[in-house]
Amino acid sequence: MSEKTKRRPHSIMRFNIWGYIFLVPFFVVFIIFQFIPLCSTIYYSFFEYYRAGLKEVGPNFVGLQNYIEIIKNGDLLYYFRNTMIMWVAGFIPQILVSLLLAAWFSDPSLHIKGKKFFQCVIYMPNLIMASAFAMLFFTLFAKTGPINSIYVDTLVWCSKHFPFLQPVFDFLHLQPEAVDFLANVHWTRGLVAFMNFLMWFGNTTILLLAGMLGIDTSLFEAAEVDGATATQIFFRISLPILRPILIYVVITSLIGGIQMYDVPQILTGNSGNPLVHGHLTSMTLIMFLNQNLYSKNYGLGGALSVYLFVITAILSLIVFRLNTKKDND
């Protein structure tokens, strides 16, 4: 940097003022539409401020009461648990499948035909409108939908042509009648997790592939000469080198998971159903926030936002460290 300044001594001030000018649009927009809203969100989290019917209550300063209340009534923790269950159930297959596919794509000895085609296909669901994708799954898995129709037809066909399978079906409680998938907790959460998996495994594969292709091939050659097997090479060389990118994938995916909204919101029709023991089992944190925003419950909504801010800020910091470390290398 100092060398450059020496090279153009007179003009330096005159030109470099433009650095500030070009930064103006970003920072003005950031301050108006993100920073000020964040501050007012934090501000309102300390107030009793909600709407009961047509009457507006507050704003009255109540200190940390919103923060305590939202933890105490159990909603926040329960919805956090829902969100995490659905995220984990989608993320574990996502990272495993992505690692496998990325390892294969980066291995020239496999001679995969149509490598680019496969990569393009598995990445495609990532660009599909999440709300339309969720609506699609809703129509597919509805009681009168095609999945139920395929299921019933198959079962009827099997018991007609292979009657000896009937005891197996009986044992598994499989009956030739439509299943109401969205009335079942595990099916609903499973569908949300599955959709998240489908939408993100291609993206993760491409990211990991870029990391794997960046590994110095002489390392593999050396290991090969020393007689290491494919599995050994993968676990002892590829995986440790990929550690930073794996951490990046886990953290960004976790931040994305906390924001989970479109898919469960539309799949369950804004409800977060099924309701089990008085708990909405597929309600996520952002769905809960959205509910508070709609009912103009600013105090509780603010406290919820601040909790989310703290969690995502800590996670962001880890990603930030990863990104800046790379710059120094």
Interacting residue with other proteins among 60, 73, 175, 217 (CB under 8 A): 217
Q: Quick one: which H or E segment has residue 61?
A: strand 55-61
* Part of the chain binding other proteins (CB under 8 A), chosen from 1-9, 58-66, 69-77, 275-283: 1-9
| Residue 250 binds other proteins (CB under 8 A) | no
Q: Going residue by residue from 175 to 204, which x/- string records binding to other proteins, judged by CB under 8 A?
A: -----------------------x--xxx-
DSSP 273: P
Q: Which stretch binds other proteins (CB under 8 A): 58-66, 101-109, 165-173, 181-189?
A: 101-109
CA distance 246 to 94: 12
CB of 302 to other proteins, least distance (A): 6
**Which member of 70, 266, 280, 283 binds other proteins (CB under 8 A)?**
266
* Range in contact with other proteins (rule: CB under 8 A) among 73-81, 82-90, 116-124, 163-171: 116-124
Residues 6+ apart with CB under 8 A from 64: 46
Among 90, 264, 272, 301, binds other proteins (CB under 8 A): 301
What is the DSSP code (8-state) at residue 55? E
| Alpha-carbon span 98 to 90, nearest angstrom | 12
Pick from 250, 289, 278, 282: which is nearest to 263 by CA?
A: 282
Beta bridge pairs of residue 279: 276
CB of 287 to other proteins, least distance (A): 10
- Peptide linkage before 59 cis (omega within 30 of 0): yes
The tokens for 164 are 């000896």
| Residues facing residue 325 across a β-bridge | none
328 binds other proteins (CB under 8 A): no
Kindly identify the residues of this chain, within the stretch 26-85, that bind other proteins according to CB under 8 A. Answer: 26-27, 29-30, 32-34, 36-41, 44
- Rank residues 225 and 277 by Cβ distance to other proteins and give the closer one: 225
Task: Identify which of residues 41 and 65 has a Cβ nearer to other proteins in the complex.
Answer: 41
- Residues constituting the chain: 329
Would you tell me how many other CB atoms lie within 10 Å of the CB of residue 233? 18
CB of 52 to other proteins, least distance (A): 18
As measured in angstroms, the least distance from the Cβ of 73 to other proteins is: 19
Q: Token digits for 8? A: 């153009």
β-pair partners for 51: 56
Near other proteins in 226-245, by CB under 8 A: 226-227, 229-230, 233-234, 237-238, 241-242, 244-245
